[in-house]
Structure 1
Amino acid sequence: MRNYLLLLVLLFALPSQVLFGQRTNTTYPYSIPFQLTSHNNLSVRAVLNEQDTVKLMFHTAANAVTLTEEALKTVKSLTFAGADSVKSWGGSNNTSRFSTNNRLQIGGQTWPNTPIWENKNSGPETDGKFGIDLFEGKVIELDFDTNRMTIHETLPDKIGQYEKLKLIVDNGMLFLEAHCMVGNQTLKNQFLIHSGYSGAILLDDQFVAGHKLDDVLTVISEKELKDSFGNVIKTQRAILPGLTIGSQTLADVPVGFFKGALGRQKMSILGGDILKRFNLIIDAKREYVYLKPNRLLKTAYSAS
């Protein structure tokens, strides 16, 4: 089992029934509009305690509701109950304040008794984040053609238009198998579905070292990454000749990795710059993901 923490993810050791109260006034299916930001994140309008309006990033690899320090300067309805030490992908000496028993409204749905944690960072243009645990036991559909998230009780009738791919679930996180094409090699790897990462691909250290990709791929730039608590590390950026997901092959995909065997990046990531190219449906049991190419399939990759 991979007992790992990564960029922009807080994994708290609380069951989801403790993290979130029961949904109220729920009729299925229901739809939630989102904005695809310039950083490839999904921004959703939310209301806290019927008083504060915030923009939350939908994060497929997170399981807590969080707000940034900056957002909390203007949020008036939260009362903090204390603080706790939290590990993050970039460091272990982090302290996070938490607030209990909040009322969270997203679209027409409300979650009472919702804990909210404090972070330093979220996706640009957002005030915090929420994860898939809000929709436990439900089907999650993301449609980038209409910019809407739809929550279903069962798979929708149109599911036959999508390609069905097996999910690998590890510590509640969702992984997808894909193939990297490098020279005359096709290299299989598992990738975390990570809508909080704005880039295309981030490769794990073991995969890079095992295939000597830091020697094979030409580095074109260097980039700084920050986790939720402001810890900074630098990545190398190169171009992967091809990436195959199911029956779809994407060419000349930007890829990030850490040069040398650092041992820090434990898992490979499919980020927002890849995910936005597919409408996707995640089944209620988190066993399969269904993909369908959309209008963004052939758009240029982000420069950063």
Structure 2
Amino acid sequence: MKRILPVLILLLPFSVFAQNKLQVVKANAGQAKIYEEPHAISRWYINPKVKLDVYTTGKFTKSKRIKFKTDVDSIVFNISPGQKKEFIVLLNGKDSCLTQIAAPELKNFSKVSPEIHDSIPFFVNKYNTNFLPIVFNGTDSLLMNFDSGANDIDLTHAALANKVKSKPQLYHPGYDIKIGNHTYKTKIFDIELAGNETDGLLGWDIFDGMIVALDYDQNKMMVHSVMPREILQDKQYTRFKITYIKNKPFIESEISQNGTKNKSLFFFDLGYQRTVMLDHDLLRKMKFPADEMEVIKKVMMHGVNGNEVPVTTVKLQSLKIGNFELKNVPAQVMEQNKPMPGTNVHYLGNDILKRFNTVFDFQNNVIYLKPNHLYDVAYADQKS
């Protein structure tokens, strides 16, 4: 009986899976890839010790195609916001791994009562880092960089060691963040670096389902549960559809050099302090004449984890965001150590984005842009 019992225990999950008619995907290696349309590729580690292994996609607004691919097999299916898909990964013919792909539900707080209309001080420093005050856990006053490329709250090691008295447990949900007059619940993560002169990153998804307006003329961030009528009636705003890739917002923009024009999705990255980050692989794929751009300088930059990123700064003749055209932009070209591995995309950074008063409509998933008093100021790389 001692020899038979483990076999019965091992076979039990397959009996359950057979009843539920879950599809089985074979694997001989412990690593797979998850392909999300459009463009996104993520690595996935197959772990038989986890009872239910869950991969949560980023936000998307309609049904999309997902492909889960191992070294020898794959499964493809469509998934809609709020749905979950389960299947079995059979590792080495013996270890069964119940795996779930979960898509987050769409959020919309336009019906909450009373309505939320909040105003928070919001500034940009000389390093092109935006920042606003928050209160963490009711005790700690911090300055946070509102980063459209971040999720939840990321606190720097220095802030956790020297400024945060409440000593939070990392990676666990339920911590209070007071922003203006409203309190939000979030997870806490740690990072090495954030924007200059800030204590961490405030992710965009804290405001998912809301309206967030950034007014660089009045130094205000405004958070609304209902879109203010004056924004919709302001003819100076241009509307851009948001495409989410790996839970980050993208809008369409165009670059041109010596008569060659390329239009593609650009990551709308308030946390990136420079102008434009151009992906070398994407430039080559689109046959953009990158070698014809004048080299301004070569530097070593650092990511939020302190990793070194070699970057070449070149002169881009034209960047068009909708009908707004910016000329002779000192743009950075990235060849390795990409911040979004597996995804070839260009970035719009805050030395560009600070020039526009911005409205994020996270209910209808659009961004509104309007030029402000910073529109014609010199770029940081032109000053150096």
Q: Same fold (TM over 0.5)?
A: yes
Q: For residue 224 of structure 2, what is the amino acid of its counterpart? A: H
What residue number does 1:184 align with? 259
1:59 and 1:235 map into 2 onto residues whose CA distance is 21
3-state DSSP of counterpart to 1:203? strand
Q: Which residue number corresponds to residue 156 of structure 2?
A: 68
Q: Which residue of 1 aligns with 2:363?
A: 285
**Out of 288, 308, 315, which is 1:239 matched to?**
315
Q: Tell me if the contact between 1:168 and 1:174 (Cα under 8 Å) persists in the aligned partners.
A: yes
AA partner of residue 331 (structure 2): V
Residue aligned with 2:233, SS: helix
Flag the 1:4–1:63 CA change in 2: closer, same or farther, 3 A: farther
Contact 2:58/2:245, CA 8 A, preserved across alignment: no
Structure 1 pair 140/99, CA: closer, same or farther in 2 (3 Å)?
Answer: same
Aligned to 1:206: 281
- Equivalenced residue count is 278
- The structure 2 residue matched to 1:148, chosen from 198, 220, 230, is 220
Counterpart CA distance in 1 for 2:173 and 2:260 is 51
In the alignment, which of 16, 37, 40 is matched to residue 3 of structure 1?
40
Structure 1 distance, partners of 2:239, 2:321, is 11
Q: Does the 8 A contact of 1:280 with 1:289 survive in 2?
A: yes
Q: Which has the higher contact order (CA 8 A, sep 6+)?
A: 1
Alpha-carbon deviation of 1:181?
Answer: 1.7
Match of 1:165 in 2: 240
Task: Give 1:185 shift.
Answer: 1.7
The correspondence of residues 79-228 of structure 1 with structure 2, limited to 5 A, is 79-81=167-169, 97-98=170-171, 100-112=173-185, 114-158=186-230, 159-161=232-234, 162-210=237-285, 211-228=287-304
**Residues 154 and 76 (structure 1), Cα distance of their counterparts in 2 relative to 1, 3 Å cut:** closer
CA distance in 2, matches of 1:126, 1:192: 22
**Change beyond 3 A, Cα 1:76–1:164:** closer
Structure 1 CA distance for aligned equivalents of residues 242 and 277 of structure 2:
18
After TM superposition, the score normalised by the length of structure 1 is 0.82
Is the Cα–Cα contact under 8 Å of residues 299 and 311 in structure 2 kept in the other structure? yes
Unaligned segments of structure 2, at least 5 residues: 1-36, 43-54, 60-103
- Asked if the contact 1:205/1:265 (under 8 Å) is kept, the reply is no
Tell me the distance in 1 between the aligned counterparts of 2:314 and 2:258: 14
Over aligned residues, Cα RMSD in angstroms?
2.8
After the TM superposition, which residues 257-276 of structure 1 pair with which residues of structure 2 at under 5 Å, given as runs?
A: 257-259=333-335, 266-276=344-354
- Calculate the TM-score normalised by the size of structure 2: 0.66
Query: What is the CA deviation profile of residues 135-192 of structure 1, one whole-angstrom value per residue up to 9, with x for unaligned ones?
Result: 1111111111111111122322222321112222223211111111201122212100
Q: Secondary structure at the match of 1:117?
A: strand
1:49 to 114, 125, 137: 137
| Mapped pair 1:297 → 2:369 | no
- Sequence identity percentage: 28
Q: CA contact under 8 A between 1:235 and 1:258: conserved in structure 2?
A: yes
Describe the shift of the 1:259–1:72 C-alpha distance in structure 2 as closer, same or farther (beyond 3 A).
Answer: closer
Match of 1:93 in 2: none
Q: In structure 2, the residue corresponding to 1:298 is in which secondary structure?
A: coil
The one-letter code of the counterpart of 2:241 is K
What letter is aligned with 1:121?
L
Question: How has the CA–CA distance of structure 1 residues 157 and 208 changed in structure 2, closer, same or farther, with 3 Å as cutoff?
Answer: same
Whether the 8 Å CA contact 1:204–1:257 is kept in 2: the answer is yes
CA-CA distance at 1:213 after TM superposition:
3.7
SS of 2:242's equivalent in the other structure is strand
1: CA distance, partners of 2:194 / 2:56: 21
Q: 1:269 to 1:26 in 2, by over 3 A?
A: farther
Using the alignment, how far apart are the partners of 1:265 and 1:222 within structure 2? 23
Code of the aligned partner of 2:200:
G
| 1:74 CA drift (Å) | 1.4
Q: Which residue of 2 aligns with 1:248?
A: 324
